[in-house]
Amino acid sequence: MLIFSEALGCVDDVATVVSALSMPTIFYRPKEREEESDAAREKFFAPESDHLTLLYVYLQWKKNNYRADWCTKHFIHVKAMRKVKEVRTQILDICKTLKMRIETCGTNWDQVRKAICSAYFQNAGKMKTVGEYVNMRNGMPCHLHPSSALFGMGVQPEYI
């Protein structure tokens, strides 16, 4: 994913996604405030991808000067975000060592999606029936996870 992202001009963005994927989750959902935390999380949903949701959360946290109170307000684990930032820095340092061009694609997130697909093509699924998908490589049935930004979106994508 990172190697292909250089050709697409989005190494910086993909490094953020990769580092966020190294965490089990960045969101938390306290039992007594489930609806409030779900509403806060939905504000960050990128309808195209959970990976872009992670990127968007990181960019908003960065825009808010990496503040812990911002994370608390939005039901985001501040420790997880700090670890994401640390891993991201390590990844970018490795990229610099390898003399990769570290660029951001700005808001052209289709480039990021292409880089993600370059790594996860084996997980691609096609809709079989409403709410049910099949893996395009092996035909195994698969479903959207309830915590996915794509779940309950109203219109289900033909491909995931």
Instruction: Name which residue leads in pLDDT, 117 or 89.
Output: 89
* pLDDT tens for each residue of 98-109: 999 999 999 999
CA–CA separation, 123 vs 119, rounded Å?
9
* pLDDT tens for each residue of 44-88: 888 778 899 999 999 999 999 999 999 999 999 999 999 999 999
The yes-or-no verdict on residue 153 having pLDDT over 70 is no
The yes-or-no verdict on residue 5 having pLDDT over 90 is yes
Q: Average pLDDT of 18-34?
A: 93
Q: Average pLDDT of 87-103?
A: 97
Closest of 103, 21, 86 to residue 55, by C-alpha:
21
- How far out from the chain centre does Cα 24 lie? 12
Q: List the structure tokens of 22.
A: 């190294």
Instruction: Name which residue leads in pLDDT, 143 or 32.
Output: 32
